[in-house]
Structure 1
Amino acid sequence: MSETPNPNIIDADTLTGEMRPIRRVVVGLGSNLGERLSNLQGAVDALADTPDVWITGLSPVYESEPVDCPPDSPKFLNAVVLIDTTLAANRLLDRALAIEDAYDRDRSDGLNAPRTLDVDLIVVGDRRSDTETLRLPHPHAHERAFVLQPWLDLEPDAQIPGVGAVKELLDKIGTDGLTRRDDLVLESDE
């Protein structure tokens, strides 16, 4: 995955004239509270409505057993969205958090508590970040079948920069506890 999927495409900011590369971004979605499919669809719609964001791929929906969650947590629905964007990673993170907040995401019970909506930046081009607020690539994506399998469905040759091929990572961890739900479909107008 390169910083710009097509190096000949550069977007110029119409106000400043600043040249900004178009980056390929992998976004992981998850929900295990409330109307799970509606929550995921709402996240897809909100991403599609974001200026300078173009949805280029939308995975099948998967149902997964909770990972590292409190006992008796409900199952998750998960999907992966591929986008192209000229937005900086920190702006994308702000947007992801705003989308979660719009779905009443409660962060008071800890990192792995049940949630109405989780919008995770998995990969932003080949950008790397290890700050308190932004870690790229996502530090646990390579351990999560509910991220790797839907991503692999969209991009069979996908790579996590600095980690490895998604297919090899998925082969290593397996898909136990993951079920493809072809009866549940997300849609994008893009």
Structure 2
Amino acid sequence: MGRIIAGRIDVQEHAEELVSAIQGLGISRKKVSVFYVNPDGQHQLLPMGGDKDHSPGTSASGKGAWIGAGAGAAAGAAVGSIAGPVGTAAGAGVGAYTGSLAGAVGETDKTAESADKPAGGSRIADRQAGLHVAAEVSSRCRQDVVALIRQYEGEQIEDTPGRIEDGEWVDFDPTQPVNLAS
């Protein structure tokens, strides 16, 4: 398996110029790939579309709903007890419903916020959507390709194992995190 050096390029003209510059290093056009990465969650890997079974921020929403339902039922029952047994039951029902909704939403927000924060000092990042240029490189020209991507305003430059055949990165997985090049 070869080494892939790739980067996200925001300007299409820069991508085209970068491909020519990479070829100038002696890398065959068949070992260079230009492709677009869809935004996270839109890679169409699952039968119903998308690439995740659930949204990252929803994993704790069930727990929050149960906690909110319990607290809401107790508060609703207390308020409803003023109106007697029927009021107690109605208050508990309305309180449980309202509490479960508030609890689920509250936990979803907390989880989504923590999912967006990168691990401190990590050289792995979430792949960003956009136009990408990748080249299968030898060890002797690895740093030259990294320098070219930077020269053409490339971002999120990665260094990963892989194969490019006839201009297609055949083992590319858009859901995998990016191993940032140094």
TM-score if structure 2 supplies the norm length? Answer: 0.35
TM-score if structure 1 supplies the norm length? Answer: 0.33
Larger CA Rg, structure 1 vs 2? 2
Higher relative contact order, chain-length normalized (CA < 8 Å, sep 6+): 2
Higher strand share: 1
Higher helix share: 2
